Amino acid sequence: MDTLSHRPQSCMQLLEEYAASCIEGTALKLRFAEVGGRDVYNITAPFKAEGVDVIAGRVEARDSEDAEIVFFAERDGWWRPLPGAPSLPYQDPFVCSVGGEWIVGGVEAWAIPDDPNGFSCWRTVFFRGKTLGELRHFATGPDLMKDIRLLELPDGRIAVCTRPQGAVGGLGQIGFTVLDSLEQLTAERLEQATIYDDQFIPEEWGGANELHLLSNGDIGVLGHIARYDEAGDRHYYPMTFAIRPDTGARTAMKIIAVRSDFEPGSAKRPDLTDILFSGGLKRLPGGRAALYVGASDAEAHVMHLPDPFLEYEQSSREELYIA
């Protein structure tokens, strides 16, 4: 497996840079109805399907991780389940379009039987269909790999970010590869992706959450960087960077939001309070963007902020990209 080396960036370094940037945004908590009192979090950005704006979200009870993916449409200020859309028994949805079909993915998680430490396993599952109602399973990623994200390139090929963990990847490293077609989306091929080795320090981890095709042909990556503190509490921060699809070269990362930028709210557990799940980003006119996040594994929020991808389109590649 190939690697690309670079000086790693830490959460603390990126947080200092974020504080110095003085980014100003406005945030709003999203409201969901008709979910039986359960939490909705780790949402996608809105996408146009069945003629309406749709959000996919992770829905589960506060004291459970028995999740389902539900598709929501907004009405009268509330997001409600989309009539006729399926629900899927998985965690952490993501959505994109390839070849005129919807690609919907989620995380399948299960407990390892009789494991004395109570360890769990997980993998990413993929569905495709011309409409949400026609979704059918077509691919499964490797065990212990979340955060697999796809992007159709102008030539029809498919850029993919991966996130191995364990013997390869440690706590979680981002990988990159390009496929000729969806038929190549197999566990074996995903395990062959080039790893950005040293993107994170060994005690921290991260992953890609959404890929954007930029105006210069590069790929804007919305992702996250994360760490544990001394008490074992988790801290997740939305970040971005860019990739050149022809060479795999990448830029440095930057944090684009922190939990205190959003309204206070509930948390699934105390150790999950400082978590932002980078669900999706919608680019808007006037150099702005809307960042959709899951907060504290219990809520969904949106924040309007300066478009973090503009930097990658407006600066020269020589200034930004790591050799």
pLDDT in tens, 225-271: 999 999 999 999 999 999 999 999 999 999 999 999 999 999 999 99
The two three-digit tokens of residue 105, written as one number: 């993915």
pLDDT, mean of residues 175-189:
98
Residue 252 identity: A
pLDDT band at 190 (very low <50, low <70, confident <90, very high): very high
Closest CA to 317 of 222, 221, 217: 217
**Would the pLDDT of 5 be above 60?**
no
The DSSP code sequence of 169-192 is TBT---EEEEESSGGG--HHHHTT
The answer to whether 238 and 221 have CB atoms below 8 angstroms apart is no
The answer to whether 295 and 265 have CB atoms below 8 angstroms apart is yes
162: Cα within 13 Å, side-chain hemisphere: 31
Residues composing the chain? 323
Question: What residue ranges define each of the domains in the chain, with the CATH number in brackets?
Answer: 11-320 (2.115.10.20)
User: Could you tell me the pTM of the whole model?
Assistant: 0.95
Run of H or E residues at 314: helix 310-314
The DSSP code sequence of 28-54 is EE--B-SSTT-EEESPPPPEEETTEEE
